[in-house]
Structure 1
Amino acid sequence: MAVNRYIAVQREAVEEIVGNRLLQTTDFELGDQLGEFLSGRELDLAKIAPRLMAQRGASNAGLIITCAGAKTPAFVVFDLEESHLFGDSQAKVDAVQCFQRVLRFSVKYWDQRVLNPTELIYPAYSKAVIFPFPISQKTGFRISVDLNPYAGRLQKRGQSERYLLVYKSGREENQGPAETPSFTVFRKFIEDLAKIELGVHVAIPEGATIASFQNVSIGSPPGRLDIHQGYDLWMRALTSEQRRFVESGLATPMRIEGPAGTGKTLCLALKAVHGLRTSEGVDVENSSLFVTHSEASRRSIVSVLQSMDADNFLTALSPRRVLKVATLQGLCAEILRRELSDTELLDPDAYDAKQIQLLYVEDAFHRAKDELGTYQKFLSSSFLSFLSSEDEWPIIQMLQHEIGVVIKGRANEQFDAYKRVPALKSGLPLVNDGDKSFVWRVYELYREQLISGAQFDTDDVMLSALGQLATPIWRRRRSREGYDCIYIDETHLFNMNELSIFHHLTKREDRFQIAFAVDRSQAIGDRGWAGDFDWETLVPQESQRLDHSKMKVSSVFRCSSDIVNLAFSVTSSGANLFTNFEDPLALANSNQSFEEERICEPPAFVVFENDEALVDGSYERAERMSREMASSRGDVAIVAFTEELFRALIAKAELANKPVEVLKERGNVEVVRRAKQSGRFVLSMPDYVGGLEFDGVVLVGVDQGRVPPSGGISHESRAFMNFTAHNRLYVAITRARYRVLVTGVRARGPSSILNTAFSSHAIQLRE
């Protein structure tokens, strides 16, 4: 097999390659073939796709990739000897990334389009430098390009400025743009090019190898796939990793992890449908359960499953194969249906119930403070200082977590047990039993409100249902009324009480067929987890010797590379502060086609003089964003980071008749659908936009004193508020496919959470 000293790609062939979504990453089979080829591995001779063709010149030194019918004499030439860009030592996933980034730069350079911050041109030297990897992966690796190689000789032939030469790669800058590359291999390419005919298919000499390029239509524009499409269409659009997860059997628990936008929910839904279809094919029973966090998410999943032709499973026409979609609270209420009615719940929707619970805790705290003199002499000095000097709102939020996660979850509502439970690491600064006595008093006053209203909160429902499931009656009925397979979406939003339910719901006690999706960095606040607690809680201790499989999704399908960088800057700035704040973007790449990249723009921070100007300006910028991307208003979300700004934006919309749909519950796709149909912006807050996606987002009020709130005085409350602020900002940023605009007030300045992003140029300050 001939060893390639160069690879040259013609202009039209460049556009074919960068426009094919399936060639952007090795997660797809075609992208993997491209990576194999670039990395120098031997491949079987494959049939070349209709538009792409490969020719080997007379010198046999390299490969020239052209496009059928194309005559443009412009090429990107990779000098493989000098650049060492591809080869056995270069991982194929990196090879594809570098190849694609160079080709995309080439098109933008030829068309004189705006470049990314990671693409730098030095006009005085006629050179360019490309940084191909996100800052979350490799910093400093660069690719050097000569924009007019061999200029003197080619100018005499009238061929100047036709070619781009990739002549160097690595982390060393050396002489920078002043460096003079070697043209030895490039001259071979020029000699070979003179002896071939462009746009004509020429057979590849025997012994030469080339990967097969194909264009595969999946029924929708690249990257803009409608989630409401058929099962078969989706299966054709999956990456190799996703397909492996979907098609693998569910004999033991399976976990799919990945950052926002990687299709975890989609994979979970497809896996449920695939399992039922497989059971139907072999005519065996399959009773499956799909669990969501909120009622809005449940409706969204039902809609997606109906689009996947799963109606026959959802409607239970065949009782032998049924897919039930439910919220966990609704499921537990059903288990307790003889003892609990809907009117006894704080709210039928789990998320709204949490908000009502917060109001009850606030009232209980105010009443407990009136009794503070009784407890004062028993309190530690640090906790007393915390109560007296801290703003109320962070205290109330932390008390809500303490009651739900620790008192009810870990201590089973027993004071002696509560005293023995260690404090949450991102929770209240509890030092001694006196501190816990005061918190217990808040809990008692909170519980009195539930009793007087004949109501039960979410944790009551979960723990009561858990008690019902741990009885001889359920153990006897389990094999008949339990579920063969359980699928849990957004597991990161459930606390330990809620996670403890699932392993009781399977038909068998020795086999836990549970698949669940996790992105811990999307969890709003501390869930009380420790280490790998999500797995350990889903399966009982005596069964933890069983294997379970864990799959991490490595490609971000939704976000542009610039948005990935910004999201990484946010997560990395909080990664060392908190026990469970993982870096979800360590393996993240953007998987957008070049056409999508054309409408992308680097994230920017825009300042306004005051809050009134901030509200007006945010609407104006959203209008401009929609217009510049040629997107409908419904594809742009305006996300307010405080309740005050949220109310101000709503008031402005009502006063000035602004076109908005207000989203007030997490994952409500009905609001988003209405917004798109009526041409209205989606106005919301970070807590509600999880699980949704937009072309662009405008984040309002991400400035000092608001993100995180300035109320945090104690170390503990600052840690808690910082934790939730990082969560919320990460969630909001990763809703966007193409553009993120962050706004704030000039006097406040940008939030400190964005300091890392500014220093790494992941976000720009714009007037």
Structure 2
Amino acid sequence: MRFICIELSAIEVIIQDRNMQSTEFGPGKALCEIVSSKYEIVEPTYVAKLLFIPHKDGLYCVGPRPNNNKAFIIDLISCNPFASTIQNNLIILQKVLRTAIKIWDSLSLSASEHAITGTKMVVFPFNIGSASKLRATIERIREDVKDHIDHLLLYRCATDEGGGASEQPLLGTFNLAYTGLNEAIEISGSKVRGGSTEAKEIVGVVELLESPPTNIPMSIPFTAWEYFLTETQKKFVYSLVGGPSRLAGPAGTGKTLCLLLRCIYNLQQALEAHKECHVIFITHSVATKKAITDKIKVLDPELFIEKDKNYSPQSLLVTTLQEWCASKVSQGIQDLEFLDKDALESKELQMLYINEAYSQTKIKSFESYKPLLSSEFVSFLESEEEWVICEMLQHEIAVVIKGRAGENFEEYKSIPHLKYNLPLKTDSDKGFVFNIYNEYQKRLTSIGQFDTDDITLTTLAQLDTPIWRRRRATEGYDLVFLDETHLFNINELSVVHYLTKNPSLPPPIAYSIDKAQAVGDRGLQGNCIDRGLIPDSFDGHIEYETMRSVFRSSPQIVNLAFAVTSAAANLFTNFENPLEVVDFTFTVDEEKKARVPVYYEFQNDNEITEGAVQIAELMAAELGTRKSNIAIVAFSHQLLKDITAFARIKNKPLEVLKQRGDLETVNRAASSGRFIVTEPDYVGGLEFEGVVLVGVDKGRVPPSSGLKTSDSKHFLRYLFHNHLYVAITRAKYQVSMICSAERGISEALAPAITNKLIEKGTFSK
């Protein structure tokens, strides 16, 4: 094959149809296989709205409104742009075709596009910071300016600059392709669907709209979702859960949605087959439970969520793990005995009481213990900030002392300490920590309350008994779905496999995970999450599915997030970078709204506070969107207080988000025209058109004041890389960052600045 010729209307389909943006969609994969010569075209063939017409020397691609005045011709004799992986080939094709539209429409060029002469253009298909230095050279050939005949020729694709501005392409292949264009367009007229002659169609397409949709309406019912799913998503969604199934992927790939759709699909299949199927869908917090419930009511045509397990053959229960555990504790726990009904809020109160217990223990017994403690542990306690120590104590008490040691000191002494937690070297070190634990338990006892781990571990003990083993067949569930697995600790994960009906069968548990979104349990390494969820007796196959297509964020934002996660990859042994292989799904219309992330420097925190609101206002205006589609994320609690105080004084509309996944606050902001302001802990699970990150500067992200030991520095570096990743990936089109000029921008963002993934912005009031 000597050439590929793509006329204007076909180019418009390719760059605007979301199903052509990724090889995870059938049309995108078919398109790439055709241009890469992996699928031979021997007769006119349809892919969605495109008609591919073979020629003895090449291939024509014609769209729904053929245009013989503008075409993009690829000379396959002088270059081979499609010699890489199938996804890279699609990236190359998309980038050069988008550049073609910019040339024809006289639009502004991006940093990866350079005009060499009046007719010559060089395009770098891959990111500036990537390893690939591939460049594609395009020549503009105007045969007849008066008749608007204006074609483009891709004649060079290499890693060097070749002949540069003086290089002249050979036009033999171009002339050959150009000569046959009119004939191809005539052939396309006789092959229109519904005409006397049907062309072959290798990808079945449901054409919902005349123009391909760019934004997916989240209110569509279950039956309409198939059109919007990638092939990977379809494989996961439209399959029965017959054993453990793990769904992984970075933020914005639709993990929760796919989990919900698979849940509904399995219930519908059971209904059609007249089989009993009772499903439990577990969320981490009350806010996310409500959000999931609202989504299911839209997706679920049979309203399985409203059916009673005792009176219907199919039912769906959406609950938090803490709620379910509390309902099964035989002693019965009243509402007032919870630290908080919400597991997330409960863990925050737990931190408060641990902080009090630590302070009291240090006052009462540290001096007497000090001669017995290791020098490393003494240095740690004397030099670190209190809240850092308490962060580590929380994990030690919940997972190690309560979970693994059963609150027994002798057992606790025998457990090896975690590499990246408290630097415990001796039994005396552990004895001092156990005193802190005892002081913490006294506080719980005095107020007559139980923390999340008390409830979870009590439930776990009662599930591993003859009574539950007998009741399990009737009170258990046929299928278990667990969302955001990365937010649960090992105590909580260990409960899940007891929820299934039949322990002798492979556990039918489907769960989603993005390890980069949470520090989670610092003791989890490798496949510990799988082992926590799945009983030791199971030695069968676990279904692994990884989502690659990112729907939420622009390529510029994903590249920034990748730089952040890559910088954190060597921090923890349990880190998995989900952005190493992703597909972008943005259409050309969506890319027009996208910008390279920028950062602004202000002199002090007072200016930062005022600037945060002003930049959010500018972002909303530029995107032409409502204020509620912009989130302001403060990277310290003090900055959050300062921003809200400034907003009150200046009468600026803000809504403070205080819970993860709290859609009620988001909806209230939308109805009242207010910005969302929050901290990175609470922004997970949400989506905005733009995000303003406030206080991403040295010494604050991560905090450095008072940190002396490598353990705490290591932990905080990981924690704040995680916070950055979560906050950045909430944005669809734009991310702005604000830092103090005195401090400078956070070192966590240094690789992104070096690779020009962030630009420095200028701001005038």
Query: Which residue identity does 2:350 align to in structure 1?
Result: Q
Q: Which residue of 2 aligns with 1:164?
A: 152
Cα shift at 1:418? 1.6
Q: Is the 8 A contact 1:697 1:736 kept in 2?
A: yes
Change (3 A) 1:314 1:525: closer
Find the residue that maps to 1:541 and give its secondary structure.
Answer: coil
Q: Which residue of 2 aligns with 1:714?
A: 709
Cα shift at 1:10? 2.0
- Residues 1:730 and 2:733 are matched in the alignment: no
Cα shift at 1:328? 0.7
The CA RMSD over aligned residues, in Å, is 2.6
Q: 2:7 aligns with which of 2, 7, 10?
A: 10
Find the residue that maps to 2:378 and give its secondary structure.
Answer: helix
Which aligned pairs between 1:527-546 and structure 2 lie closer than 5 A?
A: 527-543=522-538, 545-546=539-540
Find the residue that maps to 1:402 and give its secondary structure.
Answer: helix
Change (3 A) 1:115 1:534: farther
- Residues 1:28 and 2:16 are matched in the alignment: no
Q: Which residue of 1 aligns with 2:298?
A: 307
Query: Which residue identity does 1:372 align to in structure 2?
Result: F
Question: Aligned partners of 2:244, 2:51: CA distance in 1, in Å?
Answer: 46
Cα shift at 1:563? 0.7
- Residues 1:73 and 2:72 are matched in the alignment: no
Cα shift at 1:195? 6.1
Cα shift at 1:177? 5.4
Question: Aligned partners of 1:18, 1:501: CA distance in 2, in Å?
Answer: 47
Which aligned pairs between 1:294-373 and structure 2 lie closer than 5 A?
A: 294-310=285-301, 312-316=303-307, 319-336=312-329, 338-370=331-363, 371-373=365-367
- Residues 1:688 and 2:682 are matched in the alignment: yes
Listed as ranges, the gaps of 5+ residues in structure 1 are none
* TM-score normalised over the length of structure 1: 0.93
Cα shift at 1:700? 0.8
**CA shift digits 1:94-131 (9 cap, x unpaired):** 222221122122223333334333x2203347433333
Q: Which residue of 1 aligns with 2:668?
A: 674
Which aligned pairs between 1:51-450 and structure 2 lie closer than 5 A?
A: 52-54=50-52, 60-71=56-67, 73-86=69-82, 89-117=83-111, 119-124=112-117, 126-133=119-126, 139-149=131-141, 154=143, 162-175=150-163, 179-193=167-181, 201=189, 216-217=207-208, 222-310=213-301, 312-316=303-307, 319-336=312-329, 338-370=331-363, 371-450=365-444
Find the residue that maps to 2:370 and give its secondary structure.
Answer: helix
Q: Is the 8 A contact 1:36 1:43 kept in 2?
A: no
Question: Aligned partners of 1:380, 1:353: CA distance in 2, in Å?
Answer: 33
Q: Is the 8 A contact 2:3 2:59 kept in 1?
A: yes
Matched positions, count: 752
Cα shift at 1:72? 6.5
Cα shift at 1:236? 2.5
Choose 289-298 or 419-428, whichever is displaced more: 419-428
Q: Is the 8 A contact 1:666 1:689 kept in 2?
A: yes
Q: 2:564 aligns with which of 546, 563, 570?
A: 570
Cα shift at 1:284? 0.8
Change (3 A) 1:331 1:212: closer
Q: Is the 8 A contact 2:287 2:659 kept in 1?
A: yes
Query: Which residue identity does 1:357 align to in structure 2?
Result: Q
Cα shift at 1:568? 0.3
Question: Aligned partners of 1:439, 1:181: CA distance in 2, in Å?
Answer: 74
Q: Is the 8 A contact 1:46 1:211 kept in 2?
A: no
**CA shift digits 1:634-653 (9 cap, x unpaired):** 11111111100111111122
Q: Is the 8 A contact 1:35 1:96 kept in 2?
A: yes
* TM-score normalised over the length of structure 2: 0.93
Question: Aligned partners of 2:458, 2:209: CA distance in 1, in Å?
Answer: 47
Cα shift at 1:142? 1.9
> Identity, % of aligned pairs?
39
**CA shift digits 1:501-538 (9 cap, x unpaired):** 01111101122100000000001454420211110111
Cα shift at 1:257? 0.2
Q: Which residue of 2 aligns with 1:623?
A: 617
- Residues 1:483 and 2:477 are matched in the alignment: yes
Q: Which residue of 1 aligns with 2:554?
A: 560
Q: Which residue of 2 aligns with 1:746?
A: 741
Cα shift at 1:168? 2.5
Cα shift at 1:45? 4.4
Cα shift at 1:571? 0.2
Choose 671-680 or 533-542, whichever is displaced more: 671-680
Query: Which residue identity does 1:321 align to in structure 2?
Result: Q
Q: Is the 8 A contact 1:398 1:427 kept in 2?
A: yes
Question: Aligned partners of 1:94, 1:213: CA distance in 2, in Å?
Answer: 24
Q: Which residue of 1 aligns with 2:496?
A: 502
Find the residue that maps to 1:447 and give its secondary structure.
Answer: helix
Find the residue that maps to 2:503 and give its secondary structure.
Answer: coil
Choose 431-440 or 641-650, whichever is displaced more: 431-440
- Residues 1:651 and 2:634 are matched in the alignment: no
Find the residue that maps to 1:82 and give its secondary structure.
Answer: coil
Change (3 A) 1:34 1:70: closer
Listed as ranges, the gaps of 5+ residues in structure 2 are none
Change (3 A) 1:579 1:614: same
